[in-house]
Amino acid sequence: MLSRAALSRQAGLRRSSAIAQRFASTKSLRDTLKEAIPIKQEQLKKLKAEHGNTVVGDVKVDNIIGGMRGLKAMLWEASVLDPIEGIRFHGLSIPDCQKVLPAAPGGKEILPESMLWLLLTGQVPTAEQTRELSRELAEKGQLPKFVEDLVDSFPKTLHPMTQLGMGVAALNHDSSFQAAYEKGMKKPEYWTHTLEDCINLIAQLPALAARIYRNVYNPGTPLPGINKDLDLVGNYSNMLGYGANESLTEYLRLYIALHGDHEGGNASAHTAHLVNSTLSDPYLSYSAALFALAGPLHGLANQEVLRWQIAMQKELGTDITHEKIKEYLWKTLKSGQVVPGYGHGVLRNPDPRFIALQEFCDSRPELKSSPIIELVNKTFQVAPDVLKEHGKTKNPYPNVDATSGCVLYHYGLTEFKYYTVIFGVSRALGALTQLVWARALGLPLERPKSMSMDALEAFIKKP
């Protein structure tokens, strides 16, 4: 009999084959959604009618007092995270996506626009559809003057993530959803106005994030305008001042595409979903998500990895052996700290995103010879066995943060505090597309039931 993992892989490959063939020809993004939504609405209706009382899992006291970790308790159409396989986007694994999703002309890495199309529609776009979406995003990417003035008024000492969240919230001044709701739109129209807000916000995030970078780290430097012939990341990299560095631009394309979605239970995606369930517009919903992402337990992990790697590099010197790394790992663990970049709340194998980024590093001579990337590789060769011996880590393998910030550092983007802003630009792909589906499917206000410790103890004592 096949194992659960083998069966899951077989099912995934069948889904991948079907999806890879289901190109949307010349249809626009909106036409593709208009066709997909009634099918999903009917699927949801049938699930509720025929299986509404089916038990999915048991709630334990540990779940209630442990942050609801692991509870299957929300609907999220874009991706499913398997502890063994890792993430799949509408059935497609990361290697699948790298094979079928369009890249930039002359490039090899996934264009975030093609990932956006997949997350939103469940279909693989053609290169032409991806290019049209790139052009639409570029045309809508300019910030309103009042938001530029607002961001320029922030003190450069204000954390970049605080600035990003405030800038996104201010953009709700032009919310299509809010304006239509005030006029009394009907529920079937909710998703169309949510979609317009989400597309506009994704389009404006690079200009907002680049303006924050300029103000904090390069004040007074002119900001390039948006080039309508460039893709989303091409413009972002150019506005950051790295447009001439094609290797960094390609890395940012891969980074942003792979970080775009990681199921709905992570803090930022869940926050966007929760706030939007109150019918707050996407700008307010995503600004809340960004403040969740700013927390040290969520979006700051890659910079913590980099700090730790640099400290190790400084202490061990130039002749870094596996044995020296092993000693440094034990020193970290015995001091009561965790090893940054290792372990994951769900995964129990090496993170496929880590593997994809490592493959990117292996394909670039300058990264293969980079001391910081070499240290990442050597740590990967030693850390899992040390963590297994230590015995307190459920997943002794690297997650995506083990390498993501180190590549940015190598290419000269060395401002640690800014790394989470790039993550924020990325996570919008998944968090915002699922707001469209939440409104299309008419998902209700999210309202879990809470219990006090006394109530729990009384419940436990019931005969």
Structural domains in the chain, CATH included, are 136-296+415-440 (1.10.580.10), 301-410 (1.10.230.10)
Cα four-point dihedral sign 299, 300, 306, 309 = negative
Tally of CB atoms within 10 A around 416: 17
Closest CA to 258 of 354, 165, 183: 354
Tally of CB atoms within 10 A around 11: 12
H-type alpha helices, 335-364: 352-362
Q: Let me know: does 372 contact 309? Beta carbons within 8 Å.
A: yes
Q: Are strands 86-89 and 79-82 parallel, antiparallel or unpaired?
A: antiparallel
pLDDT tens, 7-55?
Answer: 445 545 445 444 444 555 689 999 999 999 999 999 999 999 999 999 9
From 193, 262, 270, 344, the catalytic residue:
344
Model pLDDT, residue 15: 52
* Buried b or exposed e, range 273-306, using 16+ CB within 10 angstroms: bbbbbeebbbbbbbbbbbbbbbeeebbbbbbbbb
- Above pLDDT 90, what percent of the chain? 89
From 298, 319, 385, 390, the catalytic residue:
298
Which residues contact residue 269 at a Cβ distance below 8 angstroms, ignoring those fewer than 6 apart? 76, 261, 262, 263, 289, 427, 430, 431, 434
From 82, 261, 281, 401, the catalytic residue:
401
Q: Please tell me whether the overall predicted TM-score, pTM, comes out greater than 0.85 for this model.
A: yes
Report the pLDDT averaged over residues 367-395.
94
With bands split at pLDDT 50, 70 and 90, how would you rate the model's confidence at 296? confident
Known catalytic membership, residue 273:
no
Model pLDDT, residue 345: 82
Known catalytic membership, residue 385:
no
pLDDT at position 431 over 70: yes
Report the pLDDT averaged over residues 131-146.
98
Closest CA to 16 of 81, 101, 75: 101
Report d(CA 146, CA 155) in Å as an integer: 16
pLDDT tens, 240-294?
Answer: 999 999 999 999 999 999 999 999 999 999 999 999 999 999 999 999 999 999 9
- Above pLDDT 70, what percent of the chain? 95
Model pLDDT, residue 14: 46
Known catalytic membership, residue 344:
yes
Report d(CA 153, CA 463) in Å as an integer: 62
Cα four-point dihedral sign 275, 432, 183, 145 = positive
Three-state secondary-structure class, residue 149: helix
pLDDT tens, 304-360?
Answer: 899 999 999 999 998 899 999 999 999 999 999 999 999 988 888 999 999 999 999
Report d(CA 258, CA 422) in Å as an integer: 12
